[in-house]
Structure 1
Amino acid sequence: MKTRVSNERKNLNRLAGEFLVASRLTQRGHMVTLQWGTTIGYDILAFDKAGHVAFIEVKTAAQTSKRWILQAKYATPENDRIPLERRFVCCVDMADGNPNPDVYVFPAKVVAEGMHYFFGGRFPNSTSYHLSLDFKPQGRTKEEGIQTVGDRIDAASYLDAWHLLGIEPVVG
């Protein structure tokens, strides 16, 4: 049985994920700014000298590997004013005490596709949903040959896929 995680621990895990993504971006020569509060609804902006910007939401899994809780709005990314091709969700997997956490760099559209596949378009009456890479779609968990969400969206191809952000390093 898993123990309940305190709000303090959840906040520390959230911050650790955000700082990890910011660190990995800056290590690759990208300029970043962390967004505190709810000003634009994204955790990190990454940008280059040509004016390209990537809007990044960071989600951190610290208790269950490859499972992140996201706001319901990520199932319908077309409802955001920021262009869809500029929005990303970096999913950090810190579960199991991994000292070098995996980071998936998902375009917002791919996250929505994964959520729609799992829920079959029948979303719960909730303000948040989950993206669980190792799960099969609801109601189809015992069927043979049914792909997991991770297989369906080819999650492995988004592991450390920083190039998808479409920004150039400011230093080589």
Structure 2
Amino acid sequence: MGTVGRISNERKNLNRLTGEFLVASRLAQRGYMVTLQWGNAISYDILAFDKSGNVAFIEVKSTASYSRRWMLQSKYAHPREDTIPIDRRFVCCVDISSKETEPIIHVFPASIVAEGLHYYFSSKFPNSTSYHLSLDFKPQGKSRQDVQTVGEFIDAEKYVEKFSSLGLIPVLN
């Protein structure tokens, strides 16, 4: 029984690292300077920056089990409580659930993630330390045909690979 838990934790760690390395490599490929943050000193996985001193603080969330569904800490529902300016904070949601297609990266501003969470939970958040951002779900208690999914509500497709939204000038053009 102990082996099963360890394998599960190893798999989770590999999925987390896959997402972080994938985002860092895509940023570097596009000419942005990046640094991976190990540990929890600043609570962000990646810092991306340009020569002008602009910085983007990036949290990476990966899913390998459920397509277009990520677990986030409850703090993402209330991004204004962070000391780093909200327009400099981003959540890259990496979907590595399909073995047949390339991973998909959504580059969401922190404020958009909060909007999606508030829409889904109707601002009635569960008593939990984590919430799920599920793009294909409709708000809790609303299943009518004319109700948008979370992904439709936040226009998730416009954030796919949208690294330009970081507000940084690539070092290499």
Partner of 1:110: 112
Partner of 1:35: 37
Matches within 5 A, 1:23-102: 23-102=25-104
Alpha-carbon distance, 1:144 to partner: 1.8
Letter in 2 for 1:119: F
Q: TM-score, normalised by structure 1?
A: 0.95
CA RMSD for the aligned pairs?
A: 1.4
Unaligned runs of 5+ in 2: none
Q: TM-score, normalised by structure 2?
A: 0.95
Partner of 1:18: 20
Quote the Cα distance in structure 1 between the aligned partners of 2:99 and 2:61.
16
Where 2:171 maps in the other structure, the secondary structure is coil
Letter in 2 for 1:56: I
Q: Deviations over 1:82-135 (max 9, x none)?
A: 000000000000002245201000000000000000000010111000100000
Partner of 1:167: 168
Letter in 1 for 2:150: V
Is the alpha carbon distance of 1:41 and 1:171 closer, same or farther for their aligned partners in structure 2, counting shifts above 3 Å?
Answer: same
Quote the Cα distance in structure 1 between the aligned partners of 2:99 and 2:148.
27
Where 1:117 maps in the other structure, the secondary structure is helix
Quote the Cα distance in structure 2 between the aligned partners of 1:51 and 1:98.
39
Quote the Cα distance in structure 2 between the aligned partners of 1:73 and 1:145.
30
Partner of 2:130: 128
Quote the Cα distance in structure 2 between the aligned partners of 1:98 and 1:22.
22
Where 2:98 maps in the other structure, the secondary structure is helix
Identity %: 64
Unaligned runs of 5+ in 1: none
Partner of 2:149: 148
Aligned residues: 169
Quote the Cα distance in structure 1 between the aligned partners of 2:105 and 2:28.
15
